[in-house]
Structure 1
Amino acid sequence: MAVSLTRPVAPEPYALLPSVATFDLASTDVVHGEPLATTFVADGEDLSPALEWSGFPDGTRSFVVSCFDPDAPTPAGFWHWTVVDVPVSTTSLPRGAGSPGGELLPPGAFQVRNDGGSVGYAGAAPPPGDRPHRYVFAVHALDVEHLGITPETTPTAAAFTALFHTTARALLTPTYAR
């Protein structure tokens, strides 16, 4: 029996959470509302894009950077990438920072496993023929230096823990279909 992927569009994931201040998130690699280049998808180079942020609130003590697909055909979406304990002195991540070894991450930052079970960035890979998926890159400004989780923490648990320390959030949402 074939599974139909026709389903309602998932809500904007952060619209359902308590409202927080916003700040700016930019990239030389991805554009809000535009398709991802093959460099950033599983069938391509599978690299995380360069990200740069500014305008976050005074009192920010660290950041969490994540990429979430709310359109994945699961009840809970799909976490593609989560970086925790990014120091407040860091305001950008270069292309490829989501490599499994995390060599391009700032000291002290670490990645939790993505929903595919691997460490690092998992490129976009929606089911063939499905509608374009949204890939929500988010930088969360936190009021703590360390989130108090480990690399074994699930991305959903990391997001839940960060929720209680998020003072502002910046979003950038490209799309992808195959």
Structure 2
Amino acid sequence: MRFFSILTLATSVSAGLLDFRHNGGEKCLKERDVNKLVEAYRSILSSWNPSKADFLADDGFFGYSDSINTVAGLQTGFPIFPNKQAFIDRQNSSPDNLPLTVVEVGPWNCNKITVIWSATFTYVPGATPLPVRGIVVLESSWNKKQKEHEIQNIKVEFNSMNFFRNTGGVCERR
């Protein structure tokens, strides 16, 4: 009996330590955290309101996407949103409000989540909506004050040609 008590205690301690593995002593993501952050990302892009900024880390946040830079006619290779405020300002002035559907979640590890998503939409009256499919890596950080995970950065790429056409861009065949 004593052996089983010691084994149970050792198992409980080991399970608790796993929360702090591989992330500089910060808590690692669990499935419920992954689900919460994926839903936060989906809702930020589908139905923005300023309260959703609470899901984003205050310090060190950035958004990276050569797809967005290309559609915007900007140089690639640098963050499109260098900080949280730049992301919030863009969302407040012109929210995406994409009908984002999460297709697949995973793999994920201690602080990164991979998500495949799709959205079929158009902002052009009378145009046929084209499907856009993308992949995002959400990196999380542990907010010690709020004792929960938040989105530290967003790295997203998607088929930018369909996105460009859905938002009114014109591509001529040559």
Fold-level similarity (TM above 0.5): no
Give the TM-score, by structure 2 length. 0.26
Instruction: Give the TM-score of the pair, scaled to structure 1.
Output: 0.26
| Greater fraction of residues in helix | 2
More relative contact order in 1 or in 2 (CA 8 Å, sep 6+)? 1
Q: Point out the structure with max Rg over C-alpha.
A: 2
